[in-house]
Amino acid sequence: MTLANSQSLENSAILFNLKSFSVWVFTLTVCMIVVGFPMFILVVSLSALAAFVLDAILPFSSILFVSALVIGVHAFGIMFASAWLTSKGIHPQEVEMFRWLNGKENPLHTSVYASCPLTCEIAE
């Protein structure tokens, strides 16, 4: 019976870490797309320049090589950051900034409108 319970706990810890890793991958990917959008112009410009320069050496595959390299570096960075955060025991549900992962809203933020003193019923 003890062996069965220890295997169950071990399996649940592995599944919890796997879930944490996949949620980190999703969260960091979304943050990279949304927050990193201004960097997108810089990355595309440098990638186009690199493809143009490599066109003299690799005439048929320079664009494929550069695009695979850029996408691979981003994917590896996201996977590495997710694995590092998971190995440190930092789970996305515990991060204060990601309250939306638990479905909870920000309890300290209340909206105040300019017409509120006239139209809102404020309970004090």
Q: How do residues 43-69 score in pLDDT, each as one tens digit? A: 888 888 888 888 888 777 888 888 888
* CB burial of residue 86 (10 Å; 0-12, 13-18, 19+): buried
Tell me the pTM.
0.66
- Is residue 79 scored above 90 in pLDDT? yes
The per-residue pLDDT for range 22-45, each reduced to its tens digit, is 989 998 898 888 877 778 788 888
- Counting every residue written for the chain, the total comes to 124
What interhelical angle do 37-54 and 62-87 show, nearest 10?
A: 140
- Of the candidates 98, 92, 51, 89, the one whose C-alpha atom is nearest the C-alpha of residue 70 is 51
Where residue 124 falls among pLDDT bands split at 50, 70, 90? low
The tokens of 93 are what?
A: 């549900």
Report pLDDT digits (tens) over 109-119. Answer: 566 666 666 66
